[in-house]
Copies of this chain bind each other. A is one copy, B any other.
């Protein structure tokens, strides 16, 4: 499939007339062909208008059609073959192996939601039968199902050009809910976006869905995204990116005439607690595992462990040394974009200059362009608690080891940090009492709590939570990965005394979809 540099607005390919943009190869510092035409507010308006028109028809399509639609997207992405991987590799400098894995994850995610649609539990079908004889007043017949919220705007992330982008988790879960999607392509991977966008556009056509079910718009600055979030047809927003970007979208969404929810995944330093028993028994092994997790994919994961918390004790120096040594053996590598590499270099330079921060180790430098060089720092709990900058996320392969004088200081630190995507505990049998003290705090702070593992690597499954209190996300009641992500794009509607011929299929007496339903408060197939 050819990359043309066009936007996809409904069924059409449209060359934007608001300037020319190029994708960029960060490893070679070169622009990539072809040129892309940037879109205008009018293009966004057309895409949103089509999405509005498509909404009722798309959500009315049989669930089987919706499931097949997601599966067709998955098949079409696979059919793009090596060309997709090569383009994504050029645009992101991520390795081919990593991108092949990410493609598998993207396809798996679409298929998980296809099976989730068929399962139908997301409808939350609930029936309270009429009680005409009830005193003092009869009860009406009440039936509830969830319906999609409306067209959704999706902003792809730079660090997952496949799994968190055009056909990523936000798009897949919005489609699964029955919402049309308008994606704003991430400027760091325009070609990848177009290829995947065309795979979706073809699936829309093949499944006989209305053309407005999907559009892909592009633009250089923030303007086009702002217009998209402000558009009256858009009813929710999915975003993965920086704290500043997420806050800007939240602000636009809150100021609309009709405010809408923004699901922004923004900022997390993923505290990693190594408790004394684990430090004694597995210190060196944990240090190596931590450094592998930290430097994976040049540290460009939302869940990479940017904060290590240990107690000052006899085994601590050896742990710190082992981590420093392991990190020193990691090399610098090209980051996703020149801008990200520059921000990372600034971030670690500022951290190194911190009064109470000690530079522990630095990876091997390289002459690779836009490279991020691993860097490890250390400080004390007191210094960390008194300098909020030490809690800022530096996106890339760097972490800060914080030493606590005692257990109370460790708990105070856990209580002090902002909301997180993850919190990790390394524990042995003699750490259980301390872990029990930490857990309630970690539950309040993080969306996922791991024991004896490493936070990078987010499983796509039913029990996953990729979310957490602000600023990890804008809405801790949700997850952006896993089956539960669909709930972000649903709302309940109650039907009271509707004649049988007007009732939605999911709520008809004979349960034609064979759904799990709650009847008079009891779950079953009634």
Given the interface pairs A448-B496, A521-B483, the reply to whether A457 lies near B127 with Cβ below 8 Å is no
A196 to B498 CA separation, bound complex (whole angstroms)? 37
Chain A 362-394 near chain B by CB (<8 Å), digits 1 or 0: 000000000000000000000000000000000
Q: Is the CB of A463 within 8 A of B127?
A: yes
Q: Is the CB of B463 within 8 A of A490?
A: no
A479 at the interface (CB under 8 A from B): yes
Q: Is the CB of B119 within 8 A of A446?
A: no
Q: Is the CB of B483 within 8 A of A447?
A: no
Q: Is the CB of B254 within 8 A of A497?
A: no
Chain A 423-459 near chain B by CB (<8 Å), digits 1 or 0: 0000100001001100110011011111111000101
Q: Is the CB of B462 within 8 A of A493?
A: no
Which residues 500-526 of A have a CB within 8 angstroms of B? 501-502, 516, 518, 520-521, 523
A467 to B449 CA separation, bound complex (whole angstroms)? 33
Given the interface pairs A451-B496, A465-B494, the reply to whether A457 lies near B137 with Cβ below 8 Å is yes
A168 at the interface (CB under 8 A from B): no
What are the residues of chain B within 8 A of A521 when measuring CB–CB? 115-116, 119, 462, 483
A147 at the interface (CB under 8 A from B): yes
Chain A 114-134 near chain B by CB (<8 Å), digits 1 or 0: 011001010010111000000
A470 to B260 CA separation, bound complex (whole angstroms)? 9
What are the residues of chain B within 8 A of A461 when measuring CB–CB? 128, 139, 142
What are the residues of chain B within 8 A of A518 when measuring CB–CB? 462-463
A494 to B484 CA separation, bound complex (whole angstroms)? 12
Given the interface pairs A463-B142, A470-B259, the reply to whether A452 lies near B128 with Cβ below 8 Å is no
**Partner among B254, B449, B496 whose Cβ is within 8 Å of the Cβ of A450:** B496
**Partner among B443, B492, B516 whose Cβ is within 8 Å of the Cβ of A465:** B492
A484 to B450 CA separation, bound complex (whole angstroms)? 30
A258 at the interface (CB under 8 A from B): yes
Q: In the assembled complex, how far is the CB of residue A35 from the closest CB belonging to chain B, in whole angstroms?
A: 38
User: What is the size, in residues, of chain A's interface with B at 8 Å between Cβ atoms?
Assistant: 83
Q: In the assembled complex, how far is the CB of residue A230 from the closest CB belonging to chain B, in whole angstroms?
A: 14
What are the residues of chain B within 8 A of A436 when measuring CB–CB? 502
A502 to B494 CA separation, bound complex (whole angstroms)? 40
What are the residues of chain B within 8 A of A28 when measuring CB–CB? none
Q: Is the CB of B492 within 8 A of A459?
A: no
Chain A 56-68 near chain B by CB (<8 Å), digits 1 or 0: 1000100000000
Q: Is the CB of A495 within 8 A of B453?
A: no
Q: In the assembled complex, how far is the CB of residue A335 from the closest CB belonging to chain B, in whole angstroms?
A: 24
A261 at the interface (CB under 8 A from B): yes
Q: Is the CB of B144 within 8 A of A463?
A: yes
Given the interface pairs A142-B463, A432-B501, A518-B462, the reply to whether A484 lies near B492 with Cβ below 8 Å is yes
Query: Nearest B residue to A502 by beta-carbon distance?
Result: B435
Q: Is the CB of A250 within 8 A of B259?
A: yes
Q: Is the CB of A144 within 8 A of B465?
A: yes
Q: In the assembled complex, how far is the CB of residue A460 from the closest CB belonging to chain B, in whole angstroms?
A: 10
Q: Is the CB of A258 within 8 A of B470?
A: yes
Q: In the assembled complex, how far is the CB of residue A26 from the closest CB belonging to chain B, in whole angstroms?
A: 27
A140 at the interface (CB under 8 A from B): yes
Given the interface pairs A119-B521, A139-B461, A483-B521, the reply to whether A450 lies near B144 with Cβ below 8 Å is no
Q: Is the CB of B128 within 8 A of A499?
A: no
A258 to B420 CA separation, bound complex (whole angstroms)? 13
11 additional A-B pairs beyond A463-B518, A465-B494, beta carbons within 8 Å, are: A60-B440, A119-B521, A121-B523, A140-B450, A258-B471, A439-B502, A463-B494, A467-B492, A478-B491, A478-B492, A483-B521
